[in-house]
Chains A and B, each alone.
Chain A
Amino acid sequence: MRINSNNQDSLQNTQATENKQPVQNNEPLRQDVMRDTAVRESLKNPSDLAAHVNRLSGQFERAKTDFEAKKIRQQVDSAIPTTPNAAAMPNAAGTKVVTTTDVTRSPAFDRLSSSQKSLINKTLSDNRGNTQLISEFKEMIESPVFSRLNSTEKGYSLNGLAKNIGADSADILQFTQTPSYQSFNRMQKQQGQLILGLLSADSQIASHNPMSKNTVKLLTTGNVDLALPTKAELKRDGFTDADLQGLYGFADGNTMYVNIYRPGILESREDMVRTVAHEINHVINDREPGKDSEFDTPERALDEYRAWYTENFAVGINPPTVAYMQDVYANFFSPNAGYDNIREVYVKDPDFRKVVDQIKVDLDNGKVTDPEAFRKSLAALVGKDPFIKNPNYLTTPGNLDNTPTPRPRGI
């Protein structure tokens, strides 16, 4: 898959094309295509070539940060005549079957360091017959974005793919174009690619979507920033040593922070996926000024309830189980609640308590209340409940699957 090396916000690009504005930056794609000798020879009329490239470029721009980009890339590839001596042979269905030798005998492979070659060889050997993995390595090392990385960063990207079988090479490379990645030091870049690879691999599981793919998309397009804070920074943010032993990550403003000091942070994929989906759900629901959830309000309770509920979508559970939501309920509203501030609203606000008590009654009867039903019940209290500080938050439908929304200006 082609990677967008121009780090514009994908949503801005999408909006531009939706408004039928001309695509401004198709030069990288044009140059790539023009470089292909076969194309130049086969398309005799330069105006045909330009029109063809422009049409494909327009499609590609619309989708370049979308997961449909892979399909568009295939269209670009199919428009380029393959040379008769191409290493890949067609299978019975007429599609290319990529083999290990397509990777290991390619010029791109030759340019890698010996340790990078060893990594690819070992990973392919350990995963013999995994044609998708072969394709991902091939796409990665042949990508123009990859070629522009320095050798160390190439190693990090390859490692992110090798350690997370099933990851999309495009996600890993796209992430290198974000301001987050570019602000990282070497250790953070290495860790960041392992984390991104983990999330990407998970997002390929059909039942985890659209939640997981949307979450990855937000991170790889720079719509939501990723940060890997130092221990001192985590302490500054109030986390205690004992907190850090259990903390996977948290969101603040427009940034997802991952605690790389947590023992075994990369060993439990489900915990990481849940955490990131949960925290980014806060970001995506609270990013409009005046529509955020304030503390000690029913709005905050809704925000937290929705994040706990929808993180399950990222691991293929929809709706969450009654048992899970009973634990969530206890963590919010029971006398020993982990959330002091949400419990406080429950105790002080009789209107809110009535709504919440109904959730408990329903749970006891085996029924889980979805976040939108909860929101609508709270919206009905607007104008009556003095504890509601931000009515807009309750009257606006929530974002349940981390569908990207425009990144606010100035953050």
Chain B
Amino acid sequence: MEQSVEKFILSDLKERFDLPAEKISISSPHPTNFPADAKLFRAEKKGSYGNIYYNYIQVNGKFYTSIDEDSFSKLLATEKILTRPRWNAHQVAALFLHLVVRDLRLVEASSDVSKTTDEDFNKKVEKITPPSLEINGSGAEARFWTFQGRYQKLEYWQVHITADYKMSYDRS
């Protein structure tokens, strides 16, 4: 990892939360589906069993972090994805799942989730489809499914991006 990246992240966490550098470990995982021109850095608080962490995504030299609720919108706006689209549905979903909501597994087909004795749940599982991304003159819409195993929580996400890059989402 570049020293400048580490320095930036540590300095940012110190400034925001007064977190000392010795309490932070930084790694650079490579999730599947991440855009090739985006780098992920995970700053984790030591001794938190992986529970307390902050994602930083670097694209074209700029950082976007899960700490800021508007990071995803800013990233899409800066990269002008409505007028210069270059990320596919999987990649947009992967970015969303690191900046807006975390710790969820993207699922793409009914075979990605084990069925249970709950028929309603199983019916929902049958509806799982791969991520989709639609860009048009009025904005963009990304749709995908996630699963949280502990609570058997299967969710369908619809992420709306307006023409001026305001983001909202529905989860159901």
Residue numbers of A with Cβ under 8 A of B are 235-238, 240-243, 245-246, 250-253, 268, 271, 274-275, 278-279, 282-283, 286, 292-296, 300, 303-304, 308, 311, 323-324, 326-328, 330-331, 334-341, 343-344, 347
Contacts and interface: CB of A to CB of B under 8 A. Distances in A.
Given A246-B153, A271-B151, A238 B52 contact: yes
Nearest to B115: A323
SS class, residues of chain B in contact with chain A: loop
SS class, residues of chain A in contact with chain B: helix
B42 interface: yes
A238 B115 contact: no
B41 to A, nearest CB: 11
The residue in A295, A326, A340 that gathers the most chain B C-beta atoms within 10 A of its C-beta is A340
Interface of B: 17, 25, 27, 29-33, 40, 42, 44-45, 47-54, 66-67, 69, 99-108, 112-116, 147-151, 153, 169, 171
A236 B17 contact: yes
Contact of B52 (A252, A286, A330): A252
A238 B67 contact: yes
22 contacts: A235-B67, A237-B51, A237-B52, A241-B69, A242-B101, A243-B101, A250-B48, A251-B51, A252-B51, A268-B151, A282-B49, A296-B27, A300-B50, A308-B150, A323-B115, A323-B116, A327-B149, A331-B149, A336-B32, A336-B112, A340-B29, A344-B30
Contacts of A339: 50, 103
Contacts of A286: 47, 49
Contacts of B53: 238
A340 B153 contact: no
A344 B101 contact: no
B47 A252 contact: yes
Given A238-B66, A252-B47, A331-B105, A246 B148 contact: yes
Contacts of A241: 69
Nearest to B101: A242
Given A323-B114, A338-B103, A292 B47 contact: yes
Nearest to B17: A236
B84 to A, nearest CB: 27
Nearest to B34: A340
Contact of A341 (B42, B147, B148): B42
A235 B69 CA distance: 10
B149 A324 contact: yes
B101 A240 contact: yes
Contact of B150 (A236, A243, A271): A271
A334 B51 CA distance: 20
Contact of A251 (B49, B102, B105, B113): B49
Contacts of A337: 31, 105
The residue in B49, B112, B113 that gathers the most chain A C-beta atoms within 10 A of its C-beta is B49
Per CB-CB distance, the 3 closest pairs between chain A and chain B, nearest first, are A323-B114, A242-B101, A327-B149
Nearest to A235: B67
A253 B114 contact: no
Nearest to B99: A240
Given A338-B103, A339-B50, A341-B44, 10 more contacts: A238-B52, A240-B69, A243-B102, A243-B103, A246-B153, A250-B52, A253-B47, A271-B151, A294-B25, A341-B42
A378 B32 CA distance: 25
A198 B3 CA distance: 48
